[in-house]
C-alpha cells in the first residue's frame, strides 16, 4: 500500500546540479541510498524519516506528509528547446517567471506551453498557459472544491503571475464559485497589467513524445532522458552525474511528471564520455515503449505490480501503445487525471467472514484520448484484473482508429469544417484585437458588445491608444 512520505519542493521541476547533489548528500546522511520523483516534479524520500532529523536541512523545503496544504509548482521548462514550443517562451523566460514563486504555495500551480505534450496543462488549481501574445498567459482555474476548470476572463502579464496567484489564495475564504467573481475580487485587491482575451486557447493534439535516451538538439548539443522503472534513483549515480554536469557547465536538471528526469545541453564532444558513464553504472536508456508514460502513485507496490502485469501482457501480444499514456489510481482519491487512459481500482467492501474478495477495476479514457480535453469517458466498470489486458488492447486499437480524426469541441461532426468570416478590430499601434465575442473585461465591456457600440472613451487595453486607432479586419475561420 502507498505511504505518505516527505517531499522536497522543487520549483518548476528545475534544479541545479549543485542543488541535486546537496539533496543526495542529505538523503545519504539520513540513511537512504535512493530518492524518488513525484508526479508534480518534486523529490520524495522513499522511506519514512524522523522529523527531528529533517530539521538540520534548513536549505531544503521539506514538506511533512501531514502538511496537506503546501504544493509544488509544475512547469514545462523541461520540454523547452527539445519539443515544440511557443516562440517567445524560451528557457530563460521560464526561469524568470518561476523565480517569482519563492513562497510556499497553498494551491497547485502549473506554468505550461500549450504546444508541448510532456507536462499536463490543467492538473493544477491555478493553470497559467502561454498565449501567442508575448509575456501574456491564459489562466484556467479549478479550485479544490470546483467540479470543472474555468477560464479567467483576461490574459495575465508574466510579471503579475505571482501577485495574481497570491491574491487568489487570499480570497479563498470568500469561497468564490466562478472566475467572474475571482476576477472582480482580484482586481479590487491588486493592480495588474491584464490584456483582453481576443481568441480562445488552441491546444494542438500530437502523440505523446519519447523522452528517454541520448537525443540531438542541434547546435552541437544533446539532451539525455533517464527513467528507472521502480522510481528509485541511486544516490551514488546521481552524485557522479552532478559532477559530470558541472564539468560540462550544464546549469540545470529537469524533472518530468513521469518519474524521470532530463539533462539538456550536453556538448557533442563529451557525448562519448556520457555514454561510457552510463555504461559504467549499467544504466538502461532504451526501455520498451510499453513501459514508459505511466503515472503511478509513489511507493505503491500494488500499482507497480499491476503495471508489470499489464506491460507483460502487452509485450506478449505485440501491442503498440505509442502516443498513449496510462494512469493507475484508487477510486475515491482526490486526484486530477492527466493520462489518456485511467485504470481505477475500486475500494473493496468489508470482508464477509472468511470470504476472499477479489479486486475490481474501472477503465476510463479521455475524450479523443487527449487528457487536455479534461473530459473522461467510462469504458467499463467493476471488471476483474484478468480482463484488463484485453480491454486495454481494445482501447489502444480504438485510439489508433481515430488518430488524426479528433473532433474539436466547437466543430460539427462533419469531416469538412464550415468556413466562417469574423469581423474584428485591431489596434494599429500594438496589434491588440477587440473581438465582440469576448468583450473587454479590463474596461467593463460586456461580452457581445459590438465595436460600434463602444464609448468614444474606449482605448486599447494594452497600449492605451484611442478607439480611433483601431482598424476593421476580417478573419476567416
Examine the pLDDT at 170 and tell me if it is beyond 50.
yes
pLDDT score, position 474: 66
**Local confidence band at 50 (pLDDT 50, 70, 90 cut-offs):** confident
Examine the pLDDT at 1 and tell me if it is beyond 60.
no
Examine the pLDDT at 413 and tell me if it is beyond 60.
no
Cβ–Cβ under 8 Å, residues 319 and 396: yes
pLDDT score, position 472: 84
Q: What's the average model confidence in pLDDT over 318-332?
A: 88
Q: Give the 3-state secondary structure percentages of the chain, helix then strand then coil, rounded to 5.
A: 30, 25, 50
Q: Residue 17 phi/psi, 5° resolution? A: -55, -35
Q: What's the average model confidence in pLDDT over 96-110?
A: 94
Examine the pLDDT at 306 and tell me if it is beyond 80.
yes
Q: How far is CA 469 from CA 133, 195, 425, 432, 452, in A?
A: 19, 17, 10, 11, 13
Model pTM score: 0.84
**Local confidence band at 59 (pLDDT 50, 70, 90 cut-offs):** confident
Cell (9 digits) for 35: 530518492
- Mean pLDDT value across the chain: 88
pLDDT score, position 319: 87
**Local confidence band at 470 (pLDDT 50, 70, 90 cut-offs):** confident
**Local confidence band at 451 (pLDDT 50, 70, 90 cut-offs):** confident
Cβ–Cβ under 8 Å, residues 196 and 155: yes
Q: What is the pLDDT of residues 273-304, one digit of tens each?
A: 999 999 999 998 888 888 899 999 888 889 99
Examine the pLDDT at 205 and tell me if it is beyond 90.
no
Examine the pLDDT at 404 and tell me if it is beyond 80.
no
Closest by CA to 252, choosing from 61, 17, 30, is 17
Examine the pLDDT at 406 and tell me if it is beyond 70.
no
Q: What is the pLDDT of residues 67-93, one digit of tens each?
A: 778 899 999 999 999 999 999 999 999
Q: How far is CA 166 from CA 221, 329, 441, in A?
A: 38, 31, 21
Cβ–Cβ under 8 Å, residues 475 and 424: yes
Q: What's the average model confidence in pLDDT over 27-36?
A: 94
Which of the residue ranges 135-149, 209-223, 371-385, 393-407 would you say has the lowest mean pLDDT?
Answer: 393-407
Closest by CA to 338, choosing from 74, 87, 80, 81, is 74
Residue identified by cell 483601431 is 470
Examine the pLDDT at 393 and tell me if it is beyond 80.
yes
**Local confidence band at 355 (pLDDT 50, 70, 90 cut-offs):** low
**Local confidence band at 351 (pLDDT 50, 70, 90 cut-offs):** low
Examine the pLDDT at 23 and tell me if it is beyond 50.
yes
Examine the pLDDT at 407 and tell me if it is beyond 90.
no
Would 213-280 and 421-476 be classified into the same CATH topology?
no
Q: What b/e readout covers 146-166, taking b as 16+ CB neighbours within 10 angstroms? A: eeebbebbbbbbbebbbbbbb
**Local confidence band at 341 (pLDDT 50, 70, 90 cut-offs):** very high
Q: What is the CATH number of domain 421-476?
A: 2.20.28.10
Which of the residue ranges 19-23, 188-192, 285-289, 376-380 would you say has the lowest mean pLDDT?
Answer: 285-289
CATH architecture of the domain covering 213-280: Alpha-Beta Complex (3.90)
Judge: domain 7-189, CATH 3.30.413. yes
Cβ–Cβ under 8 Å, residues 118 and 75: no
Q: What's the average model confidence in pLDDT over 215-224?
A: 89
Give CA–CA dist 257/243, Å, rounded. 24
Give CA–CA dist 100/62, Å, rounded. 19
pLDDT score, position 439: 79
DSSP string, 332-376: T------SSEEEEEPPPPPP-TT-----EEEEEEEGGG-GGG--E
pLDDT score, position 432: 78
pLDDT score, position 417: 40
Q: What is the DSSP letter of 445?
A: B
Q: What is the pLDDT of residues 138-161, one digit of tens each?
A: 999 999 989 899 999 999 999 999
* Sign of CA pseudo-dihedral 208, 214, 217, 218: negative
Percent of the chain clearing pLDDT 90 (strictly above): 62
DSSP string, 234-296: EHHHHHHHHHHHHHTT---EEE-TTSEEEEEEEEGGGHHHHHHHHHHTT------TTTSSEE-
Which of the residue ranges 23-27, 277-281, 283-287, 473-477 would you say has the lowest mean pLDDT?
Answer: 473-477
Percent of the chain clearing pLDDT 70 (strictly above): 92
Largest CA distance in the chain: 82
Which of the residue ranges 315-329, 359-373, 439-453 would you say has the lowest mean pLDDT?
Answer: 439-453
Q: What angle do CA 156, 462, 110 make, to 5 degrees?
A: 10
pLDDT score, position 476: 47
Examine the pLDDT at 314 and tell me if it is beyond 60.
yes
Query: What are the residue boundaries of the structural domains of the chain, listed by start?
Result: 7-189, 213-280, 294-402, 421-476
Examine the pLDDT at 338 and tell me if it is beyond 70.
yes
**Local confidence band at 350 (pLDDT 50, 70, 90 cut-offs):** low
**Plot region of 224 (φ>0 → left; ψ -120 to 50 → alpha; else → beta):** beta
Amino acid at each position: 500500500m502507498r505511504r505518505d512520505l516527505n517531499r522536497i519542493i522543487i520549483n518548476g521541476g528545475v534544479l541545479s546540479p549543485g542543488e541535486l547533489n546537496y539533496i543526495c548528500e542529505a538523503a545519504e546522511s539520513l540513511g537512504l541510498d535512493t530518492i524518488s520523483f513525484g508526479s508534480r516534479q518534486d523529490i520524495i524520500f522513499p522511506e519514512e524519516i524522523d522529523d527531528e532529523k529533517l530539521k538540520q536541512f534548513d536549505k531544503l523545503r521539506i514538506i511533512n506528509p501531514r502538511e496537506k496544504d503546501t504544493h509544488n509548482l509544475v512547469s514545462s521548462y523541461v520540454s523547452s528547446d527539445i519539443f515544440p514550443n511557443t516562440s517567445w517562451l524560451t528557457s530563460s523566460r521560464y526561469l524568470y517567471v518561476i523565480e517569482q514563486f519563492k513562497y510556499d504555495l497553498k494551491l497547485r500551480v502549473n506554468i505550461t506551453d500549450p504546444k508541448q505534450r510532456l507536462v499536463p496543462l490543467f492538473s493544477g488549481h491555478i493553470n497559467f498557459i502561454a498565449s501567442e501574445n508575448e509575456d501574456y498567459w491564459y489562466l484556467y482555474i479549478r479550485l479544490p472544491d470546483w467540479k470543472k476548470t474555468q477560464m479567467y476572463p483576461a490574459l495575465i502579464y508574466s510579471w503579475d503571475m505571482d501577485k495574481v496567484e497570491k491574491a487568489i489564495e487570499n480570497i479563498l475564504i470568500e469561497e468564490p464559485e466562478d472566475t467572474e467573481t475571482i476576477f472582480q475580487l482580484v482586481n479590487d485587491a491588486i493592480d495588474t497589467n491584464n490584456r483582453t482575451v481576443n481568441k480562445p486557447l488552441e491546444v494542438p493534439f500530437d502523440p505523446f513524445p519519447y523522452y528517454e535516451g541520448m537525443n540531438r538538439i542541434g547546435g552541437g548539443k544533446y539532451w539525455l532522458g533517464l527513467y528507472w522503472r521502480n522510481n528509485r534513483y541511486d544516490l551514488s549515480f546521481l552524485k557522479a552525474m552532478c559532477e559530470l554536469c558541472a564539468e560540462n557547465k550544464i546549469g540545470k536538471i529537469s524533472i518530468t511528471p513521469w518519474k524521470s528526469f532530463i539533462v539538456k545541453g550536453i556538448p557533442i564532444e563529451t557525448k562519448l564520455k556520457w555514454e561510457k558513464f552510463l555504461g559504467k553504472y549499467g544504466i538502461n536508456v532504451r526501455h520498451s515503449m510499453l513501459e514508459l508514460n505511466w503515472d503511478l502513485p509513489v511507493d505503491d507496490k500494488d500499482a507497480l505490480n499491476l503495471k508489470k502485469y499489464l506491460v507483460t501482457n502487452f509485450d506478449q501480444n505485440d501491442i503498440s501503445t505509442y502516443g498513449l499514456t496510462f494512469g493507475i489510481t484508487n477510486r475515491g482519491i482526490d486526484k486530477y487525471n492527466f493520462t489518456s487512459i485511467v485504470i481505477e481500482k475500486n475500494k473493496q467492501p468489508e470482508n464477509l467472514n472468511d470470504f476472499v474478495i477479489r479486486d475490481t477495476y474501472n477503465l476510463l479514457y479521455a475524450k479523443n484520448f487527449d487528457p487536455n480535453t479534461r473530459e473522461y469517458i467510462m469504458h467499463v466498470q467493476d471488471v476483474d484484473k484478468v480482463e484488463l489486458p484485453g480491454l486495454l488492447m481494445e482501447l489502444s486499437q480504438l485510439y489508433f482508429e481515430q488518430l488524426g480524426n479528433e473532433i474539436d469541441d466547437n466543430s460539427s461532426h462533419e469531416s469538412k469544417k464550415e468556413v466562417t468570416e469574423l469581423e474584428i478590430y485591431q489596434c494599429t499601434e500594438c496589434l491588440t484585437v477587440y473581438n465582440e465575442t469576448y468583450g473587454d473585461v479590463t474596461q467593463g465591456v460586456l461580452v457581445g458588445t459590438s465595436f460600434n457600440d463602444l464609448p468614444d472613451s474606449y482605448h486599447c487595453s494594452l497600449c492605451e491608444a484611442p478607439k480611433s486607432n483601431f482598424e476593421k479586419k476580417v478573419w476567416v475561420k
